[in-house]
Amino acid sequence: MPQRATLMEEQGCSVRVVHLERLVQARAGALSPRQLERLSALYRAMGDPGRLGILLALAQGEMCVCDLAALLKVSESAVSHQLRRLRDLFLVKTRRDAQCLYYSLDDLHVNQLLAVGLAHVEE
């Protein structure tokens, strides 16, 4: 009969050993506190269903607040509030055409983040 792993083996090391070369490599690749906070803010912003819905809509092309509000079935005020947050994080940008302000994804990286996330959940 096969032996079952103990709870300690399933959750972590059964022997306390620090692998110095792995620790050095991890420290060399570690983010600064500012980078870590910015990356965390990016994922928090994308983790909100409303903001994620906006980003996914904008991945199809630029839209104005009215378009987004109609698509997402929320108020224009709610969309504007979320867009402000997304702009602050450089996830969306604007383009003015006369009196209409159009929103789009800030750059290709945002589209890639969305595409990778979708590919992961569709596996």
Average pLDDT for residues 21-41, to the nearest whole number? 92
Which residues face 97 on adjacent strands?
100
Residues 6+ apart with CB under 8 A from 62: 95, 102, 103, 104
Contact status, residue 78 vs residue 69, Cβ threshold 8 Å: yes
pLDDT on residue 18 = 86
% of residues, the chain, pLDDT over 90: 80
112 falls in which pLDDT band (50, 70, 90)? very high
Q: Which CATH class is domain 44-121?
A: mainly alpha
Query: Mean pLDDT for the chain?
Result: 90
Residue ranges in 1-64 assigned as alpha helix (H): 7-11, 20-28, 33-46, 49-58
pLDDT on residue 5 = 52
Look up residue 39 and give its two tokens.
Answer: 């990356």
For residues 103 and 87, give the distance between their C-alpha atoms in angstroms, rounded to a whole number.
Answer: 9
110 falls in which pLDDT band (50, 70, 90)? very high
15 falls in which pLDDT band (50, 70, 90)? confident
Look up residue 100 and give its two tokens.
Answer: 């209409």
* 73 has a pLDDT exceeding 90: yes
* 101 has a pLDDT exceeding 90: yes
% of residues, the chain, pLDDT over 70: 89
pLDDT on residue 65 = 97
